[in-house]
A and B are shown apart, each in its own frame.
Chain A
Amino acid sequence: MKEKRPSFYEECINKGVSRRDFLKFCTAMTALLGLDPGGVAQVVNALETKPRMPVIWLHLQECTCCSESFIRSSHPVVATLLFDRISLDYTETLMAAAGHQAEELMAETMRNHRGEYLLMVEGSIPMKNPAYCCIGGRSARQVVEEAAAGARAIIAWGNCASAGCVQAADPNPTGAMPVHRIIRSKPVINVQGCPPIAEVMAGVIVHMLTFEGIPQLDGLGRPKAFYSRRVHDTCYRRANFDAGLFVESFDDDNARKGYCLYKMGCKGPNTYNACGIIRWNEGVSYPIQSGHPCIGCSEAGFWDNSPFYKHNPGVKGFGIEATADQVGLVIGGVTLAGIAAHAVATNIRKKQMIENKTEE
């Protein structure tokens, strides 16, 4: 991912325009913008520096929770991302333009920055009938295929774009599909969660801008920096699990002491996410801290791992952890066996994921 886009100034020099003419242009531009003469330096600076990364953000079958989460980012704050770091040329949620002017912007970015722009996708693609999701009269599939063709890489935001999310839950009435099942010719980064944590979204973008490459991914295409640890392993309530201290029903005495939610159906033991570490909304809390079990929203197919409040669900992928609460109940030496079992489970589960991924 070498930076190819020259700044406006570099482009001028390449085309044989002198610096003197460049500065004259800047002065004219300043007047055109109605700035006072002191603004010339700003214009010069802006046109000399490296341009911001062009970004197209598509909205397909989704609920806009990913966009909402994105604007919650605190480091960097979203205004810095939008105005200083990237050039968000197309996003239906925030862009001033509408209708054909909006569509022109997408076409322009695809044309002028071919091979350079980043494509971000929020939402899944309905495969049963193209009319189930249309934008500007074109089907979601057509839009995403065209936009993907010239993208340098694709970020699939959230569970919809990464795994189909709620609309792909049984019986998946619209045939909702994640991006990586449709687009196979480009790298796809699955930033999982419903939605992903704001700082995780910002973190992935910042990584790509700063280190000019794709972050290391796990077998499911998720950045390892945020998805290589189970919520269970990073949970501040883990000591209660190890000690066999469990909540038995919502707001019981144990809940009021902040005991482990495993028996309430917590999916922390088979969910890879950074909730326990980064937490939500600038580190304020995360579901378990606020008394609700993890529902596993960063895992593919988590909706069909329900009922959510059944602590020992007979669902595939749960595997060895099904016995973990029994292990947890028996105090002392057996706890060690529980920990060992968890470690094994992690590896078995990861191996299964990689195999599943290969099958697709």
Chain B
Amino acid sequence: MKERIVVDPVTRIEGHLRIEAETENGRISNAFSSGTMVRGIETIVKGRDPRDVWAFVGRVCGVCTSTHSLCSVRAVENALGIIVPPSAELVRNLMIATLYMHDHVVHFYHLHAFDWVDVVSALKADTSAAARMAQDMSAWPKSSQGYFAAIQARISRFVASGQLGIFANGYWGHPAYKLSPEQNLIAVAHYLEALEWQKEVVKVHTVFGGKNPHPNFVVGGMPCSINLHEPNAINTERLAFVRQRLEEARTFIDQVYLPDLMMIAGVYRDEWGRLGGGVSNYLSYGDFPMAEYGETDSYLMPRGIVLERNLSLVHPVDARSPSEIREYIRHSWYSYDGGDREGLHPLSGQTNLNYTGPEPPYTHLNVEDKYSWIKTPRWKDMPMEVGPLARLVVAYAARKEPQKSFIDDTLKKLDLPAEALFSTLGRTAARGIETALVANWALEVFDKLMENLRYGDSRMVNHTLWSPNLWPDRAEGVGLSEAPRGALAHFMVIEDRQVENYQMVVPTTWNASPRDAVGVLSAFESALIGTPVHDANQPLEILRTIHSYDPCLACAVHLWDESGSYVHRADTF
């Protein structure tokens, strides 16, 4: 018997996502992913000063805060041929590293954990046993019986108040929860600790960018001056403050996040190491340049594409090439002059609004036709997964270290084959592995920055091309980066010193898009097929797989123009 499950709002994500799924005999047989909000930011930046755009597009997302700003200044620098000073490039790497650590930890504990962790079960835990277990897992100094008893008492008091707040109406007691009460208590304790921890690591953004969320960037480098002999600039005290934050972050990631991840993975691996694989192609633009941004060989995260899960071959990717990346709108609320079946490169695309969905309030979308504000991007007409798993898969296939050894070690500890990576659990594990790597890289980058300063190179901005008078009449640029959630591309055309065209193809557009013109499913929809749903009224399993991608919807849906006639130029590249 067919049954239609609707999850809307999908919570514990950024933005507005709706999932409609059909089940047959307790398994998902078809799925539809819909982004239900638009803002039109690309239209808004048209005609503005290209040096301002980072601030506008930074507001595409406050969760992946800073990543769009960075991508935007890279697009301007790429268009004008600006090379960022080496120390500024390192500070930018510290900005990205900080974002990764913050974002991945918050995702694991505050957005994803309740898919695996039963808070109510933690009330039944034996606190002595929990303490012993936690002490066996890591050297984290807080793991005493008294600590777990205090956490348990706090949760008991909270539950007993009858006001369950953010814990209300969870799927508590669902048979798909498999952790022991002690394991649940450990995870809940660390949920609370991570909540306190996350406000510390972002202080790196505050030192260099002035605030978080939405720290500041500048075309040509970073706005923060470093001057070791000045109280009014970033000096030795500020740098020591940053190093302290980075060290504490690494300690937490190594002693709390990774052990918890391994604990959860150890319990769920048999089932969830097989489910939720989704599409079998993986795209990464790469990031963390250790030399110039243009020198992709220096990237700590390599660039490339893996097709059909073939871990012996990495394909090159060229985001500028009109024959590689194309966006489709067969099932998105837009129209193209050439019809619904056409696919267009972002810079020769059209963005004509065409809402054909039901008038709200509605109960179901018309999934046979258009059903989302998200366009459907394809690489050479193939669907791609992007994100931590894609980055690690590309690095693994490229035999890149330390990624490969770390992945091999983790698989060995969990007693899983490499194929288990291609699953819901693999995706969640990849995020943790990546966080541990980034925590190390952050300190390496910091040390390299110190080395530059020792040699007297504290330059933060290349302002030789700051003045628009020096710019050509027309210039085009592409900014690429790896946001925590995956491959991010900003495309910019500058004409008469103003933005003539701006386009973003963002991670969740790849992952959460509707099917394409020939009916091929994108990552979310594809990953849900075959997933068992124990209780249609409590579709915990859907949340597990969707959350494993860390959806970010505000990023994904931004592409349209009210006039309905915004035709991008076809001759840009």
- With A96-B114, A174-B38, A250-B463 already in contact, the answer to whether A77 and B196 are too (CB < 8 A) is yes
Choose one: B37, B65, B222; the contact of A61 (CB below 8 Å): B37
Which chain A residues border B153 with CB–CB below 8 Å? 39, 42
- Closest CB of chain B to A23's CB: distance in Å? 13
Verify A47–B214 contact, CB threshold 8 A: no
Which chain B residues border A105 with CB–CB below 8 Å? 168-169
Choose one: B157, B166, B209; the contact of A96 (CB below 8 Å): B166
* B395 located at the interface, meaning its Cβ lies under 8 Å from any Cβ of chain A in the complex: no
Choose one: B39, B43, B110, B361; the contact of A138 (CB below 8 Å): B361
* A271 located at the interface, meaning its Cβ lies under 8 Å from any Cβ of chain B in the complex: no
Which chain A residues border B160 with CB–CB below 8 Å? 29-30, 33, 39, 42-43, 46-47
Which chain A residues border B216 with CB–CB below 8 Å? 287, 290, 292
Tier of interface size on chain A: 35 or more
* A229 located at the interface, meaning its Cβ lies under 8 Å from any Cβ of chain B in the complex: no
B37 to chain A: closest residue by CB: A133
* A334 located at the interface, meaning its Cβ lies under 8 Å from any Cβ of chain B in the complex: no
Choose one: A91, A99, A138, A165; the contact of B10 (CB below 8 Å): A99
| Residues from 1 to 59 in A contacting B, C-beta threshold 8 Å | 8, 29-30, 33-35, 39, 42-43, 45-47, 49, 51-52, 54, 59
- Interface-located stretch among B48-56, B289-297, B380-388: B48-56
- Closest CB of chain A to B392's CB: distance in Å? 26
- Closest CB of chain B to A93's CB: distance in Å? 7
* B570 located at the interface, meaning its Cβ lies under 8 Å from any Cβ of chain A in the complex: no
- Closest CB of chain B to A168's CB: distance in Å? 9
* A147 located at the interface, meaning its Cβ lies under 8 Å from any Cβ of chain B in the complex: no
* B26 located at the interface, meaning its Cβ lies under 8 Å from any Cβ of chain A in the complex: no
Verify B224–A89 contact, CB threshold 8 A: no
Q: Give Cα A104–Cα B537 distance, bound, in whole angstroms.
A: 13
Q: Give Cα A289–Cα B230 distance, bound, in whole angstroms.
A: 13
Most buried by B among A87, A131, A255: A131
Which chain B residues border A346 with CB–CB below 8 Å? none
Choose one: B167, B213, B222, B230; the contact of A257 (CB below 8 Å): B230
* B9 located at the interface, meaning its Cβ lies under 8 Å from any Cβ of chain A in the complex: yes
Choose one: A99, A174, A255, A290; the contact of B39 (CB below 8 Å): A174
A252 to chain B: closest residue by CB: B463
Interface residues, chain A, CB within 8 Å of chain B?
8, 29-30, 33-35, 39, 42-43, 45-47, 49, 51-52, 54, 59-69, 71-74, 77-79, 82-83, 86-89, 91-105, 126, 128-140, 142, 165-167, 169-174, 176, 194-195, 198, 237, 249-251, 255-258, 275, 280-282, 284-292, 295, 297, 303, 306-309
- With A134-B360, A136-B9, A281-B206 already in contact, the answer to whether A249 and B463 are too (CB < 8 A) is yes
* B363 located at the interface, meaning its Cβ lies under 8 Å from any Cβ of chain A in the complex: yes
Which chain B residues border A67 with CB–CB below 8 Å? 62
Most buried by A among B169, B192, B199, B560: B169
- Closest CB of chain B to A205's CB: distance in Å? 14
Which chain A residues border B210 with CB–CB below 8 Å? 280, 285-292
Choose one: A54, A249, A258, A287; the contact of B232 (CB below 8 Å): A258
Verify A132–B44 contact, CB threshold 8 A: no
Which chain B residues border A63 with CB–CB below 8 Å? 14, 59-63, 554
* B312 located at the interface, meaning its Cβ lies under 8 Å from any Cβ of chain A in the complex: no
Which chain A residues border B114 with CB–CB below 8 Å? 96
What are 18 A-B contacts with C-beta separation under 8 Å? A39-B156, A42-B160, A46-B160, A65-B63, A72-B198, A77-B199, A88-B165, A92-B12, A94-B166, A96-B167, A96-B171, A96-B172, A176-B39, A237-B232, A250-B463, A284-B203, A288-B210, A303-B56
Which chain B residues border A64 with CB–CB below 8 Å? 14-15, 61-63, 554
Tell me how many residue pairs across A and B have CB atoms closer than 8 Å: 349
Choose one: A51, A99, A281, A295; the contact of B9 (CB below 8 Å): A99
Q: Give Cα A42–Cα B149 distance, bound, in whole angstroms.
A: 13
Q: Give Cα A147–Cα B129 distance, bound, in whole angstroms.
A: 45
Verify A195–B213 contact, CB threshold 8 A: yes
* B32 located at the interface, meaning its Cβ lies under 8 Å from any Cβ of chain A in the complex: no
Verify B156–A251 contact, CB threshold 8 A: no
- Closest CB of chain B to A203's CB: distance in Å? 15
Verify A166–B211 contact, CB threshold 8 A: no
Residues 185-225 of B, flagged 1 when their CB comes within 8 A of A and 0 if not, give 00000001001101100110111111111101010111111
Verify B38–A282 contact, CB threshold 8 A: no
Given A33-B159, A46-B160, A102-B9, 8 additional A-B pairs, CB 8 A: A60-B37, A82-B166, A93-B12, A97-B170, A98-B7, A173-B43, A288-B210, A307-B52
Q: Give Cα A333–Cα B447 distance, bound, in whole angstroms.
A: 48
- Closest CB of chain B to A12's CB: distance in Å? 12
A166 to chain B: closest residue by CB: B59
Which chain B residues border A82 with CB–CB below 8 Å? 165-166
Q: Give Cα A133–Cα B207 distance, bound, in whole angstroms.
A: 35
Which chain A residues border B562 with CB–CB below 8 Å? 128, 171, 173-174
Verify B156–A35 contact, CB threshold 8 A: yes
- What are the nearest 6 A-B pairs in CB distance? A65-B62, A258-B232, A96-B170, A173-B40, A287-B210, A290-B210
Choose one: B16, B43, B111, B560; the contact of A134 (CB below 8 Å): B16
Choose one: B119, B156, B333, B560; the contact of A173 (CB below 8 Å): B560
- Closest CB of chain A to B383's CB: distance in Å? 25
Q: Give Cα A102–Cα B232 distance, bound, in whole angstroms.
A: 49
